[in-house]
Amino acid sequence: MQTYQDTYKHKGLRNQLEALLRSKGIVDEGVLKAISTLPRHFFLPHDFESHAYEDKAFPIGEGQTISQPYTVAYQTQLLSLKPGDKVLEIGTGSGYQAAVLLACGANVYSIERHQNLSDTAARTLKTAIPHDWMSRLHLFVGDGTRGLIEHAPYHKIIVTAGAPSVPKTLLSQLQIGGILVIPVGKDEVQKMVRITKISDKDIHTEVFADFSFVPLVGENGWKV
């Protein structure tokens, strides 16, 4: 079992990372505080610990990655989170994005396709975040492209893998006025898309910068 310490050196590196993200256009103070507070090195294999606060993605197994901090911050900023928001995360991965959402005050429902990644994320989160945050965290294993209908509707939905199109199942689980942030594209590079649900029949779509994600696999995403 991996064990980590959070040292003054790590905290200094996080402060540098926060400054870098500010320089790249991240302005949401809640997001920046989360990045500067959370021990990202806890969410990485020991071999990558010395690189944890570089603005890079790293493999975590099962063909998945922990997204680069800028990507995490960018997506989270687009959600316009408010404390108490009920957020569905598609793709738990390492658990780092879920930790950022929790740090911003969200109630997080996170689903992961791979059982072992979900189990590892659960163990890591118990170590990496304050104990009183755990009551706001709910982890599931299954096909994230189907969402989690039993806990819908959600104020916000964030998808951490690249989709060929926007799954209608996710839009249907978003409450009126809610926001879905998802990378969409059929090539290796996707566009970050933010959808605001105006009514059951109307949505407002905004298209942002290019990013590169692992594929969103499932019934309403890329097929295995």
Domain range annotation of the chain = 8-211
List phi, psi (to 5°) of 117.
-70, -40
> CA nearest 96: which of 44, 142, 55?
44
Q: What confidence category does residue 187 fall into, taking pLDDT thresholds of 50, 70 and 90?
A: confident
pLDDT confidence of residue 109: 98
- Rounded distance between C-alpha atoms, residue 54 and residue 155, angstroms: 31
Amino acid 2: pLDDT: 64
At 168, list the tokens: 């209608």
Query: Is the pLDDT reported for residue 173 higher than 60?
Result: yes
Q: What count of Cα atoms within 13 Å lies in the side-chain half-sphere of residue 87? A: 33
CA 57 to chain CA centroid, Å, is 13
Residue 171 to residue 153: CA distance in whole angstroms:
10
Report CA 63 to chain centroid distance, whole Å.
17
Q: List the single range of 46-55, 80-89, 176-185 with lowest mean pLDDT.
A: 46-55
Say yes or no to pLDDT of 153 above 60: yes
Active site residue: 67, 94, 110, 118, which one?
A: 67
Judge whether 67 counts as a catalytic residue. Answer: yes
Structural domain 8-211, CATH architecture: 3-Layer(aba) Sandwich (3.40)
Q: How far is CA 216 from the centre of its chain?
A: 13
Residue range 59-69, pLDDT digits in tens: 998 889 999 99
Direct distance between the N- and C-terminal alpha carbons of the chain, in angstroms, rounded to an integer: 31
